[in-house]
Amino acid sequence: MSAPNYEPLAHDEPQQESSSAFRAQDFGDAYVKPHTYYGEGPFDAPSSDEEDELLEKSPSSPQAAERNGSALVEEGPLRIGGKQRPASVRILVIGLIALVGTAAVIGFLAAQSYAGTAFRIRGTQRITMDHVFNGTFYAQRQGVLWVPEAGDGVFAKSEGGNITLVDLKTNFTRTLVAFEDVKNERGFRLNWADWKLSSDMRYILIKSDYAKQWRHSSFGNYYVHDLETQTTFPLTTPSHPPVTAYATWSPTGESIAYVLGNDLYVVPSPSPSATPIRVTTSGNASLFHGVPDWVYEEEVFSADFALWWSPDSSKVAYLRFDETAVEEYTFPVYNPSENSHAVVPYPGHVTMKYPKPGYNNPLVTLHVFDLEEYLKDEDEEDEHEEPEDGNEDEDEDEGSDRIAEASLTLTWDGRQPADNSIIAEVAWVGNSTLLIKEVTRAADNGSIVFFDLNSEDADLGRIVRKLGAAGEQGDNGWIDSEQRIYPIPDAAIPYGSSAYLDIVPTPAGYNHIALFSPANSSTPRFLTDGEWEVTAGILAVDTNRSLVYFQAANPSSVERRIYAVPLPGSASAEMVEPTALTESEGPAYYEADFSPEAGYYVLSYLGPDIPWQQIVQVDDEDFDYVLTENPRLNDTLSQYEMPIVAHSTIDSDGYELNVVEIRPPRMDDSGRTKYPVLFRVYGGPGSQMVNVKYGHDWQDFLASSLQYIVVIVDGRGTGFKGRQLRNPVKDNLGYYETIDQINAAKIWAAKDYVDPHRIGIWGWSYGGFMSSKVIEAGAGIHSLAMAVAPVTSWRLYDSIYTERYMNLPDANPAGYVTASISNVTAFKDVDFLLAHGSGDDNVHFANSAHLLDMFTHDHVRNFRFRMFTDSDHSIVRRGAYRELFEFMTEFLVEKWGKGGKRRS
């Protein structure tokens, strides 16, 4: 960027007078330590008997096993003061016990039929850790790969060593290709990682020799297989390790765009002798063309490409990322093998460009290569004779000139300075019309820019929509990062003009579908409205029926249903209420994957009951194609004691928050038994953990086998309930979310069946940050916390994510202090577990190292720490994932024991 100039912040030096990881003088007078608790004075938990005994006894009879603590177990005559009760009193007591027993039976039956429970008590077996990790409760789910080149309603599947095509219209299946027929240049079968068909279905582009890079990106050797001649040839010279980062067909024709050595190439037609067009020549380790750098891959596009063909395949738009000024981050690789016993005398390392808040971001520019123009110029040239000696350079110069003449660098009036610009979206809305979304680093100001590449000023765009506080958002929150622009096909364009759909917040702050027609329009025309949100963008547009399909968090924010709404037939047409395609008597969670022309869709029911999938034909109710039903799960679940799951809401400072409580089977909620409560938290901006999807994981093990209560609360900042719930955390991550978690813990601590001395919290990533913030607050209610791969200082995380929610450190210095872990005094009063992978490229291990340094400085010693060698953010390397949960389970049992406590 040119202005403002973000100078690198000074490196932190150890300070004796402060437990903060960075110097107070870096922030001037704005530096303050956060208060240790955000509530009103210390929390005084209700007392439970200190002499309570652990309920971990073996049942004395089958009947007792069935009750499992839901009723008192009588062991001989009931005595008070050593005297036996009179007969009349005994009769009274027996009568009372009978009433209690009857009430227990009624309560049990009510629990069985309670409409708010997603899972019910079924069998008698306890869930073990093996069941959690060996797939015992796994619900099979099948993806469908639609093949638009073969027509609507055709999908591919792999079976019997072949890729076959299933045509739902004709109910006919045919073999597309046999794996054994596709071999590399040495005659060996390819190791397929991915494949794509050309638009004419003659060629298959195959990715082989997969080599993972980051979360979404990888390298591979690409091959083209000719289905007519049954021949295979490499797209580029194969290498080991592979170096081609991405390749894709044009939507029409037979052109291929690919990225090799961070340069963009285009092959107009595939053949072993084809000469690729090298569109860019400056690619290197810091300069990317057509593929994103790490931070754009992770935080903007969630994809491994940054190039987009125009609908008619005449042009390719691509982004150029210049990371030259981005600082490097290096982490060690102690053991590159899968052998945990390997001794590596000299560890390797990974060095990556990783921009942090306030430091240099990659500089991004937008370019268009006009393939059609390039080929036309090439055809118009006279055929040349073989070049004489010394003329090769001249031919190369002529080729470079043609590429330059066919290339555009796009810009626009009102563009943000380069160092304050995030290109968040690129979308073709016609063969020669293009939209881009640009936002500032703080995501509080932005624009939608329109380009007409057929105009005289083809390289100069025009801002057609304003985003941010003075634009469509109209508040002090952030501009959402998702790419939601959906061009409307020509056949369905409303009232005769180019158009597209986007997801835009209404004036009330709920994300809804808006139509922009023509495509350079500045005014959204909302197709949906209400106090609910469209959640997954536009699923499909049916041009034959002029319908738009979408998923929404409706009728409640924890559910998902599929809807259709018509495109308006005229500029004066009124808004029409959406039609639900999924009907359920109770709560439900659906997803849908539509065929290319929206004539069919895969309907996936994901909960709360056992998931199933079927393919639906939109105009034929009798069409029946079942993908998955998971019948075995009915038998499996019937054998196990499943937790009871209840959804509800709580109030926190006037905000309604979604909550789910996972209870032990046959839990005694009379108040005589006190259960530990472990809160699970994530809480990141726009996220959601409370929903009605099917799933049985470690939380189920804790409830079923350890007899713990698990509670999940989606606090302020989380998604799908409107911007009024999300916006409060802007510039202040961790503050209001911490208040919400503490308020929820207070509510549960006051319940009769909860042991207020055994309330804890755990989370991973942002959830690890949240569990640490809750302890830092020093509310006195949590006695235990576990943080996995936590962010501990937002100055250590990446720039694009952090600045979107926190602004830049120079603009919000106090916010960066209060939003990070900077006061560890309260950690002395709890049992704390910390775990992190040393090879985490996302939330660097430096975050945990920073927290450990503060522990050392402030003499915090009552914690448990585990580093998982070479594991990344998912902690899976060399068996680490299961071991992590065993580690946490052991910690919980050591500190809390198993089960509830019964009053003496």
Contact 712, 690 (CB under 8 A): yes
- In whole angstroms, how large is the CA radius of gyration of the chain? 31
Residue 551 has which token pair?
Answer: 């998923």
Q: Is 840 a catalytic residue?
A: yes
Residue 226 has which token pair?
Answer: 């000719």
Q: Is 340 a catalytic residue?
A: no
Beta strands in 227-286 (DSSP E): 231-234, 244-249, 256-260, 263-267, 277-278
Given 289, 647, 757, 873, which residue is catalytic?
873
Residue at token pair 């949960």: 885
Q: Please name the amino acid found at residue 515.
A: L
- How far apart are the two ends of the chain, measured CA to CA in Å? 69
Residue at token pair 């001037």: 28
Q: Please name the amino acid found at residue 386.
A: E
**From the centroid of its chain, how far is CA 15?**
38
Residue 892 belongs to what H/E stretch?
helix 880-896
C-alpha to C-alpha distance for 301 and 863, rounded to whole angstroms: 38
Angle at the Cα of 902 (from 898 to 904), degrees rounded to 5? 135
CB-based burial of residue 84 (10 Å sphere; 0-12 exposed, 13-18 middle, 19+ buried)? Answer: exposed
Given 19, 481, 765, 848, which residue is catalytic?
765
Count CA atoms within 13 Å of residue 262 on its CB side.
Answer: 14
**From the centroid of its chain, how far is CA 646?**
25
CB-based burial of residue 534 (10 Å sphere; 0-12 exposed, 13-18 middle, 19+ buried)? Answer: buried
Contacts of 28 (CB under 8 A, 6+ apart): 813
Among candidate residues 110, 111, 80, 78, the one with its CA nearest the CA of residue 96: 78
Residue 826 has a CB neighbour count (10 Å cut-off) of: 20
Contact 569, 125 (CB under 8 A): no
Among candidate residues 239, 244, 172, 178, the one with its CA nearest the CA of residue 207: 244
Given 840, 841, 870, 872, which residue is catalytic?
840
Q: Please name the amino acid found at residue 814.
A: A
Residue 409 has a CB neighbour count (10 Å cut-off) of: 10
Contact 842, 872 (CB under 8 A): yes
Classify the phi-psi angles of 603: left when phi > 0, otherwise alpha if psi is within -120 to 50, otherwise beta: beta
Q: How many helices (H) and strands (E) does the chain have?
A: 15, 47
Catalytic residues: 765, 840, 873
